[in-house]
Structure 1
Amino acid sequence: MSELKRGYLFGIVAYGLWGFFPLYIRLLLPAGAMEILAHRVVWAVAFVALLLTVVRRWPFLRELARHPGTLAGISLASALIAVNWGMYIFGINSERVVETALGYFIGPLVMVLLGVVALRERLNPTQWTAVGIGTLAVAVLTVDYGRPPFIALTLAVSFGAYSLVKKRLGLPAAEGLFVESAVLALPALAYLGWLTARGDSTFGSGAGHTALLVVAGAATATPLLLFAGAANRIPMTGIGILQYIAPILQLGCGVLIFHEPMPPARLAGFALVWLALVVFTIDGLRTGRRRAADRDREPVLTA
């Protein structure tokens, strides 16, 4: 198997796991969102620590200690991913899986806007059209829900900001995930201790439930590591198309498995989001082909 095909395989599996993640989260009930989040953090640290021990990658900690700015950036990334994970779990447990899917559908459009605001990037007319259609979609969904889709917007903004911070840090996947989770580990352990002291912890209430909470670490880390393997092997246009696998599967889980409502107005809002993504994706593919053609036309300098 070529490296390109291996990369696409890694990406499909990663986004497929993310897409079916609501099914796993529902299995963790009756644990609340905060308890699930805390266990996800603690067991992710344990899982990635074991992985780093196997591949002998611990020396990176010494290098990180020499860069306080990087540590500050990691702390910011940790806070953002904690908000994202917590809101995602809350959305699933409160029977709003469809709205969590919406968050990841509009995520690419939010990331484009963050690029304009934070990196001073310029959008072409087609990209502005996609953003405008996406904004209209949010307005339609606000009328349908009777409120702004705050779960979707929080997921999109927190993950977009997290991606922006991660891009600037440039850390390897496993090492970055370990440090991000480690920053959150002490507060997570403190919360789990407080929950146990109150007698409200579900950990240990049954062998199956306890095992599922422990597996949260591997369930968190595995798709992230697969995604890193995909990102290193396939072009960004490929990643851009694959990223829609997860919200499509999440939407399917919400409507077909959990039987969440999809009234006509909500369907119209989603249709506008999909239209915006089609416009955005076509523009990205055209831009990618144009840049590739420009590189092919560049003269080759010889000595």
Structure 2
Amino acid sequence: MALSTIFSRAQEAATFLRERLDPRLQKPKVAIVCGSGLGGLADAVHEQPRVEIEYSSIPYFPRSTVQGHAGKLLFGFLGTQTSVVLMVGRSHYYEGHSIEDVTFPIRVLKLLEAETIILTNAAGGLNPEYAVGDITLLNDHIFLAGLSGLHPLRGPNVDEFGVRFPPLSDAYDLSLRRCVHTAWQGITKSEKRRLHEGVYAFVSGPSYETRAECRLLRQLGADVVGMSTVPEIIVARHAGMRVLAFSLVTNNAVLTPVPRGDDHLLQSTSSGDLDTILKEGKADHQEVLEAGRQAAQDIQRLVVQVITDVFEKNRDV
């Protein structure tokens, strides 16, 4: 998509949506992006008023092809009175979309006047202290693709959205993160599930990372790794939106080196056993979705509580 047309296309998409919405839903306060297996957040949205619009019907909207991503916008209310729009599923760069197309929905949400965006994703745990099912509240990121040129703001700046050189040192809103920790203490949740704060590393995918790549990312300071979210956050911050982001740890990355073929301890091991050793800890998308289903209730409660605290109890955030 040519950068010169991004604003006009986003305007067209936003107008298309407003024309199909109840007046109470036309200016959502909060946008929520539901990652792999986390579409269950939609269950918390009130039944009335409620409008669902398929991505395929929205002008210029990219379509998701990944299992676990329904591909629709859901407008409604969370908590008692907070108007929200949920992206139930997202598009990814690895699906063949351009980086501009992947982030296009965020610009549309901005034009709908969403002030805050909450992003969720499924991620691999790099930090050995993280367990499958834990939730990571993001406080920073590593965007190697962006550092090497694959950046959603590359090209002429879209001045209607933001400045040429947006800072990202404050990308992850501190007051909102403070509120998350308070909310976590007050909700009923799985006793085994923990809340961490950490750094997310973006990789383009769709292959999962090698062991050497996982060790590299861990040494760089990353706690979790995934294939989404960061380009969206950059565009959201460029447009002046407040950002809150969560990663659900759905698998533990394998950090141990690959066994050597000349290891004398393996010389008498059968081929079947060698295959079992090599596959230990291998990531699987079905496991990612299942972990998402199991954690959905806790993430749902947490997001609803945060929205209630921030937008309905008028706390100092």
**TM-score of Structure 1 vs Structure 2, range by shorter chain:** under 0.3
TM-score (norm 1): 0.26
Pick the structure with more helix per residue: 1
Higher relative contact order (CA 8 A, sep 6+): 1
Pick the structure with more strand per residue: 2
TM-score (norm 2): 0.25
